[in-house]
Amino acid sequence: MLCDLCSTPASVAYQCKPFVMHPNLPEAIALNRDLYVCSACSALIEAEQWKDLIDRSVSLAIEQRSIPLERHFLVRASTEEFVLKLRKHLQRG
């Protein structure tokens, strides 16, 4: 499994209540399973360093997917939405 936040190999699974991304758009995506994260993202979640988690996820996504500069704000907006929803739905021990 790959990390749901940064697409590097995942090593931790968190239970997560189901939620929907972009509920008002045609490309709405439901997350209805465990969340898989790598050890680096897990450490940020445990420390509740949400801004650092967003920054890490955005910069790796831009790099991995060669996203052009004019679309970086879209990646950041959807990552911010994803992390905000995770904070509400993640079930931490």
Q: Does 54 bind Zn ion (CB under 5 A)?
A: no
Contact letters (x/-) for Zn ion, 22-51, by CB under 5 A? ----------------x--x----------
Can you give the length of the chain in residues?
Answer: 93
User: Cα separation of 36 and 9, whole Å?
Assistant: 9
Examine residue 6 and tell whether it contacts Zn ion (CB under 5 A): yes
Q: How far is the CB of 40 from Zn ion (least distance, A)?
A: 6
* Token pair for 88: 């509400």
What residue type is assigned to position 76 of the chain?
R
Q: What is the DSSP letter of 2?
A: B
Q: For residues 6 and 62, what is the distance between their CA atoms, to the nearest angstrom?
A: 10
Nearer to Zn ion, 28 or 29 (CB): 29
The yes or no reply on residue 3 touching Zn ion (CB under 5 A) is yes
State the residues that interact with Zn ion by CB under 5 A.
Answer: 3, 5-6, 38, 41
